[in-house]
Structure 1
Amino acid sequence: MRIGVLAKAAGVSVPTVRYYESIGLLTRPARQGGQRVYSTEDVKALSLIRHCRDLDFSLDEISDILASVQRRLPCSETKASAERHLRSIRKKIAELCALEATVAALVSGCETTCSGSAAPDCVILQPGQPCCG
């Protein structure tokens, strides 16, 4: 199949297919008459890449997952990758919660101390205001 058919089958764009080839996530296909020719295995690999991207795995993590699939490693390898990814997600959530609390406090402070003042006087913009860290 041609690149456009592959892209459509996997739900990605043609430039995305080319990009994944350029960084080595997809193997470069054989060419026939100067055009790339893909197989159903390429559709499976590209669909897996897309699924992993939907789960917010990094490209490096996806590369490791693809290698595990291609080498038919035990599922425990993929589970370990997913557990590391889950820890990372939970850390980001905690950081975002702290950031949300800080911004909410600044907004509340603005409402009670400087609402209606000129923007440069706003408590939100004052250096030294507590921030998450």
Structure 2
Amino acid sequence: MLIGTLSQKTGCHIETIRYYERIGLLPKPLRTEGGRRVYNNEQIKRLGFICRSRELGFSLDEIRTLLRLVDGKKYTCQEVKIITENHLKDVNKKITDLRRLQKTLADISSQCKGGQVPVCPIIDVLFEE
């Protein structure tokens, strides 16, 4: 499969596929005599894994660690669980931070009457130390 078809099939942009190759997440594919990349089923499956992991918010380093475990065929469910639970802690922290941000923005937005005067309580709050 050529890179354009791979991109369409996975929804992953061509430049992103090339980036994953450059950083070693996706093995470099074979090339035709004309220099075009040709992907096999294992690379397609691996790219799907990478894309799905990114959708779930895993960092590239976390994905690299998971792939290293899979590639070595010596992973345990416990190792994968630890990585996932650490990621879940990060997600929960972000949710907490976003809720705090939501409340703060709602509070300062409620102070603004939206008038045409050059005084704005939102700007005033943003300039506070």
TM-score by shorter chain over 0.5: yes
> Unaligned 5+ residue runs, structure 2?
none
| Structure 1 spans left out of the alignment, 5+ residues | none
Alpha-carbon distance, 1:117 to partner: 5.2
- Alpha-carbon distance, 1:83 to partner: 0.8
Q: Which amino acid aligns with 2:48?
A: S
Partner of 1:86: 88
| Runs of 4+ deviating beyond 4 Å | none
Instruction: Give CA-to-partner distance per residue, 1:42-90, whole Å, 9 cap, x none.
Output: 0110000011011011111111111111112112222111111111111
Give the residue type in structure 2 aligned to 1:90.
N
RMSD, aligned α-carbons: 1.8
Match of 1:16 in 2: 16
Structure 1, residues 16-48: CA drift from partner, whole Å, max 9, x if none?
211110111111123331332321110110000
Q: Deviations over 1:82-106 (max 9, x none)?
A: 1111111111111111111111111
- 1:37 is matched with 38
1:95 maps to 97
Helix, strand or coil: the match of 2:37? strand
Number of aligned positions between the proteins: 125
% identity of equivalent residues: 42
Tell me the equivalent position of 1:107: 109
**TM-score, structure 2 length as denominator?**
0.85
Query: Displacement, 1:118?
Result: 1.5
Cα distance in 2, alignment partners of residues 8 and 128 from structure 1: 48
